[in-house]
């Protein structure tokens, strides 16, 4: 079963400010946490892909009717908190395992090592039909 674990720029449970306002040590600890988690998921054979996205300032929105020139809106986008910041794609044995990984990611350390309580959106990736069906 594949699940995608999404995180956006919205507020976190711990109520701390955005990363650029943290101390360098806290930033390092956070980065290290994410790396260790990815290494663990690689070793367990569950990590398919993990990516961080460039900032909301670089976001562009495209709308097209397929005929006339597309309408392209450049950032910064007013609702940037809704934008995706990054994701992990995992291939796991059960939905519970996906939730367990999401819980680990949610508790990533913030300033002074306090868990961020970052909301993680867990979505199952639609699979091909079962051959028995």
Partner 1 sequence: MTTVIGTEDLLRALAPRVLGAVVRRYGHFADAEDAVQEALLTATTTWPTAGEPDNPLGWLIRVASRRMVDHYRRDDARRRREDLAASWSVTRADPDTVPEADHDDTLILMFLCCHPALSPATAIPLTLRAVGGLSTREIAGAFLMPEATMAQRISRAKATIKESDEPFSLPTPDQRASRLRSVLHVLYLLFNEGYISNSGPDLARTDLSGEAIGLARSVRVALPDDPEVAGLLALMVLNDARRPARTAADGELVPLAEQDRSLWDRSLIIEGVTLVTAALQLGPAGEYVVQAAVAALHDQARCYVDTDWSEILSLYGRLERMTGNPMVTLNRSVALAMVDGPRAGLALLEEVAEQMGHHHRFQAVRAHLLEMAGATASAMDGFRAAAAGATNLREQQYLTKKAARLAAELP
CA distance 99 to 83: 21
Q: What is the DSSP string of the chain?
A: -EEEEEEESS--TT----GGGS-HHHHHHHHHHHHHHHHHHHHTT-EEEEEEPPPGGG-EEEE--SSSPPEEEES--TTGGGSEEEEEEEE-S-HHHHHHHHHHHHT-B-GGG-B-----EEEEPP-PPPTT-
Among 10, 21, 71, 113, interactor with partner 1 by CB under 8 A: 21
Out of 40, 57, 100, 124, the only residue in the binding site for partner 1 (CB under 8 A) is 57
81 makes contact with partner 1 (CB under 8 A): no
Question: Nearest-CA neighbor of 123 among 84, 77, 76, 69?
Answer: 84
50 lines the binding site for partner 1 (CB under 8 A): yes
Residues numbered 29 to 48 that lie near partner 1 (CB under 8 A) are: 31-32, 35, 38
Stretch that binds partner 1, among 23-31, 64-72, 101-109, 120-128 (CB under 8 A): 23-31
| Residue of 43, 45, 51, 130 that binds partner 1 (CB under 8 A) | 51
Please select the residue that binds partner 1; options are 13, 15, 23, 72, rule is CB under 8 A. Answer: 23
| Residue number, 38 or 99, with CB nearest to partner 1 | 38
Contact residues: partner 1, CB under 8 A: 19-24, 27-28, 31-32, 35, 38, 49-52, 54-55, 57-58
């Amino acid at each position: 079963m594949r699940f995608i674990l999404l995180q956006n720029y919205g507020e976190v449970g711990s109520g701390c400010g955005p990363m650029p306002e943290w101390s360098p040590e806290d930033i390092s600890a956070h980065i290290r946490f994410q790396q260790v988690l990815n290494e663990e998921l690689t070793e367990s054979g569950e990590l398919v892909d993990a990516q961080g996205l460039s900032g909301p300032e670089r976001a562009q929105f495209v709308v097209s009717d397929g005929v006339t020139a597309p309408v392209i809106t450049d950032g910064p986008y007013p609702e940037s908190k809704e934008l995706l910041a990054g994701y992990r794609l995992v291939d796991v044995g059960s939905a519970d395992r996906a939730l367990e990984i999401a819980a680990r990611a949610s508790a990533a350390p913030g300033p002074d090592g306090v868990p961020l309580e970052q909301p993680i959106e867990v979505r199952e990736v639609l699979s091909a039909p079962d051959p028995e069906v």
